[in-house]
Amino acid sequence: MSDNATYIAYAAAYDDPDMALADFATLKEAGLRHITAALVRKDENGRVHVHEKTYAGKAAGTAGIIGGAALGVIFPPAGAAIIADAVIGGAVLGSIGHFAGGLSRHNLKELGNLLDEGQAAVVAIAEDAVSTDINKALSHATKKANHALDKGDVDGAIEEIEKGLDKAIDVANKDLS
What does each of the 177 residues of the chain score in pLDDT, given as a tens digit?
A: 445 667 777 788 888 989 999 999 998 888 777 777 778 777 777 666 667 666 555 434 444 554 555 555 454 544 444 433 443 333 333 333 334 444 444 554 555 565 555 578 887 777 777 778 888 899 999 888 777 766 665 566 556 545 555 555 555 556 555
The number of folded domains in the chain is 1
Range of the domain at 141: 7-176
Would you state the pLDDT for residue 176?
55
Q: Output DSSP code: residue 119.
A: S
Q: What is the pLDDT, as a whole number, of residue 8? A: 77
First-to-last alpha carbon distance for the chain, in angstroms, is 36
On whether residue 121 sits in a domain, the answer given is yes
Domain assignment present for 27? yes
Q: Report the run of H or E that residue 88 belongs to, with start and end.
A: none
Is position 1 within any domain?
A: no
